[in-house]
Amino acid sequence: MQVIPAIDILGGRCVRLTQGDYSKPTVYSDDPVDVVRRFATAGAARIHVVDLDAARGSASNRPVIARMLDGQNVQLQVAGGVRTMEAVDALVDGGAQWVVMATAAVRDPHLFEKCTLKHPGRVMAALDVKDNKAAVGGWLDTDSVSVGALVSRWEFLPLGGVILTCVDRDGTMAGPDLQTLARVRKMTKFDLEYSGGIASLDDLRRVAASGAQAAILGKALYEGKLTLEQALSL
């Protein structure tokens, strides 16, 4: 199983939220570009980058992300507020290996399909689950569509994979939601990345045993619960 460190950007800084709560961010670095370098040096092959300002529609950190993409010896998957074809095009042209769509994947299926067909294998679907529903708009809202119906809608698209985030576990380090992971694993043929609650090497082993091809690590790394080198050695 691949381990993917995460960098969430709010106001140009590297932060972590707990359960998507924007009112209480914890700042870990004023320079996300330096964090990319550190993760790459530690051996990361792929990094998950989220523009939190863009996700909730308040601003954009695209200039910072452009610098993160520039000349780095690591692949980036970029998420947050990607809701137009132009935004997808710009990120792909700017060097993002994968572009992650969340709200658009849920609420604008026609646009999402067009983006996947234009960039086959480069667009990923974000399945952000909150109270057993799909969270949208920077996790500030949920959609009425069932998770099963949503995932089945994606099955015939040329996706680069699906990212499952269990919002209720995100940033809590309370352990992964293996029940939801197992349920979603049965729903999709695509490579599945899991995020939410991971705090230990044992958690990573359990996520792998539940069928995820990759695990996204955030707060556990920043809080020193485990090192990226330890996680990558599994």
Of 8, 53, 170, 177, catalytic: 8
Choose among 75, 113, 81: nearest CA to 95.
Answer: 75
Identity at 130, one-letter amino acid code: K
Q: Catalytic annotation on 8?
A: yes
The length of the chain is 234
Q: Catalytic annotation on 21?
A: no
Of 51, 128, 177, 203, catalytic: 128
Q: Which residues are catalytic?
A: 8, 128
